[in-house]
Amino acid sequence: MARIFSTGEKSINEHFWKEVMGNHYEDFKKHILKKIDYLENEYGNLSEPESHLSYMLYEVSPKYFAGELAIAKHFTTLRIPAWDNDIIDLCYSIRNSTLSFSRFLADYKSESMEEMLLQAYLISKNEGALREIPVYGLPPKTFSKGKCIYHLVRIKNLGPKKVVNTFLRRSYSPLEDWNRWLGRILKGTISQLIFTENSRIKNYVAPEYINSLQNRVSDPFIPKLVTAEIILRLFFEANKEMAGEKGAFVSSGRRGKG
């Protein structure tokens, strides 16, 4: 998708997806290209900023992110499905308004800073808890005052703590420590879900590729496969239960008529 946003070229990473999908690659490719055509028909040329913004507002935000917030290095912000009309109008009316397309600008390093300051300012004016979400440890209103002021306040507020941590060598386990989560805490659960012979995901993704991930516990594809496996199991179990209920109903009906 990043390549499509940047160049308008509709393609997928053939080498990678052939390895992942195996015999299902051609069907997978047709499906993805069909989806991209649908997005273009719905929102326009995705390499255009307005079309990209519409895609993020109406397709991605409500369906996938449900209110994630990220500023600074990530170039995304306020991915919330419940925007009112005034905010949406503002998105379309100001240059480099919001969301993720700043990274594709020719001079994004300078222009995206302007965008980030604007985003931080809008967030800081929010009446709810959103304005208290920290940006690198400080509230957005600090970041909205400019990069230099933000760093000065950050040094003042966080500097002593950083010095203490450096000399005392305290270590904190990060929340998203995927090596620990995938390689230790959830290792057994993951193995039971995707690395067994009866894993349903192996009917869709090449088993050789899935098995190759057993020694790469932090691979970002593992959580995706696990999610897909859980959804497949729920889907097939629900179908089985529905078929059972339908059979019981038909059977009892026949007994009643007899």
72/52 Cα distance (integer angstroms): 20
Taking the model in full, what pTM does it have? 0.58
**Residue numbers of the domain that contains 233:** 178-257
145 and 63 in a common domain:
yes
pLDDT in tens, the chain (258 residues): 777 877 778 888 899 999 999 999 999 999 999 999 999 999 888 877 778 778 877 787 666 654 444 434 444 444 444 566 777 777 777 665 554 545 555 555 555 566 666 666 776 776 666 677 666 667 777 777 777 777 777 777 767 766 666 666 655 556 667 778 888 888 999 999 999 999 999 999 999 999 999 888 778 899 999 999 999 999 998 888 887 766 654 444 444 443
189 and 112 in a common domain:
no
Q: Is residue 41 part of a domain?
A: no
Residue 54 CB neighbours (<10 A): 19
| Contact yes or no for 137/165 (Cβ under 8 A) | no
> Cα separations (Å) of 45 from 50, 93, 104?
9, 19, 14
Long-range contacts of 221-225 (CB under 8 A, 24+ apart): 221/20, 222/182, 222/190, 222/194, 223/182, 225/194, 225/201
Q: Is residue 25 part of a domain?
A: no
φ, ψ of residue 68 in degrees (nearest 5): -65, 150
150 and 197 in a common domain:
no
Query: How confident is the model at residue 148, as a pLDDT?
Result: 78
101 and 76 in a common domain:
yes
